[in-house]
């Protein structure tokens, strides 16, 4: 599903990750690694928002030659999402829905399931961190991605919303064959995400533990 070739990411002369040739199959994956090992860096690079050496491909679509098509296939939710404060949640969703080619009605269903109707038209400056997190989850599920990257999805989200998130992940994976890379310091519930597999980052390398 995701193919790394001669991938290298450094900040100035500080090498963070070196992944020569790895193919991650379709599935749901938990990316594990201690603080500063490069989990967020990896997810941002895969999302196409950080530069790196080498290339990445989702199926046959590679980032360096087909960046627009590639970006349509991958959705990303940051660990601590930052949005323009003057926009409302609904306006943010409308922007993303257009950019991601979401079907009419898709966003409304997600917003209703996450129980966000009461504040979706309010400015983002008034949102709590959990409300922003839930919005970032809705945005990450818009359109028809093949791969969804969620950086620390458990942070700040309440237990009820977490149940909904688990159900979205399972449904998307089963129905649309969407793959997931999730980074989390808190344990991800294998009972709620059956078949989840582990990938670890250690010594600047990626190891598939399956």
Ligand X SMILES: Nc1ncnc2c1ncn2[C@@H]1O[C@H](COP(=O)(O)OP(=O)(O)OP(=O)(O)O)[C@@H](O)[C@H]1O
**Contact residues: ligand X, CB under 6 A:** 11, 16, 33, 35-41
Q: Which residues contact 141 (CB under 8 A, 6 or more apart)?
A: 75, 110, 148, 168, 172
Q: Closest Cα partner for 38 from 12, 10, 13, 17?
A: 17
Considering the complex, state which of residue 38 and residue 143 has its C-beta at the smaller distance from ligand X.
Answer: 38
- Min dist CB 122 to ligand X, Å, is 29
Other Cβ atoms closer than 10 A to 10: 15
- Min dist CB 39 to ligand X, Å, is 4
Q: Which residues contact 93 (CB under 8 A, 6 or more apart)?
A: 107, 111, 120, 135, 138, 139, 142
- Min dist CB 97 to ligand X, Å, is 28
Are the beta carbons of 47 and 198 closer than 8 angstroms?
no
Considering the complex, state which of residue 38 and residue 48 has its C-beta at the smaller distance from ligand X.
Answer: 38
Q: Closest Cα partner for 176 from 106, 119, 124?
A: 106
- Min dist CB 45 to ligand X, Å, is 9
Considering the complex, state which of residue 97 and residue 152 has its C-beta at the smaller distance from ligand X.
Answer: 152
- Min dist CB 38 to ligand X, Å, is 4
- Min dist CB 23 to ligand X, Å, is 22
Considering the complex, state which of residue 142 and residue 199 has its C-beta at the smaller distance from ligand X.
Answer: 199
Separation of alpha carbons 157 and 175, rounded Å: 25
Cβ burial of 14 (10 Å; 0-12, 13-18, 19+) is: exposed
Considering the complex, state which of residue 63 and residue 151 has its C-beta at the smaller distance from ligand X.
Answer: 151
Q: Closest Cα partner for 54 from 78, 29, 77, 22?
A: 22
Q: How far is CA 114 from CA 102, 104, 110, 143, in A?
A: 18, 18, 6, 17
Considering the complex, state which of residue 32 and residue 146 has its C-beta at the smaller distance from ligand X.
Answer: 32
């Amino acid at each position: 599903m995701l193919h790394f070739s001669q991938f290298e990411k450094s900040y100035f002369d500080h090498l963070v990750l070196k992944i020569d040739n790895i193919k991650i199959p379709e599935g749901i994956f938990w990316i594990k690694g201690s603080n500063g090992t490069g989990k967020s860096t990896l997810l941002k690079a895969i999302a196409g928002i950080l530069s790196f050496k080498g290339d990445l491909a989702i199926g046959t679509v590679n980032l360096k030659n087909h960046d627009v098509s590639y970006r349509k296939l991958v959705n990303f939710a940051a660990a601590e999402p930052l949005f323009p404060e003057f926009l409302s949640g609904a306006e943010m969703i409308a922007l993303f829905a257009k950019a991601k080619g979401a079907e009419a009605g898709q966003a409304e269903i997600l917003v209703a399931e996450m129980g966000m109707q009461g504040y979706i038209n309010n400015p983002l400056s008034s949102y709590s961190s959990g409300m922003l997190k839930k919005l970032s989850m809705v945005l990450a599920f818009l359109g028809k991605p093949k791969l969804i990257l969620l950086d620390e999805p458990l942070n700040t989200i309440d237990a009820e919303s977490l149940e909904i998130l688990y159900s979205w992940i399972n449904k998307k994976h089963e129905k649309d064959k969407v793959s997931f890379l999730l980074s989390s310091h808190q344990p991800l519930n294998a009972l709620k995400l059956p078949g989840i597999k582990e990938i670890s980052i250690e010594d600047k390398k990626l190891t598939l533990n399956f």
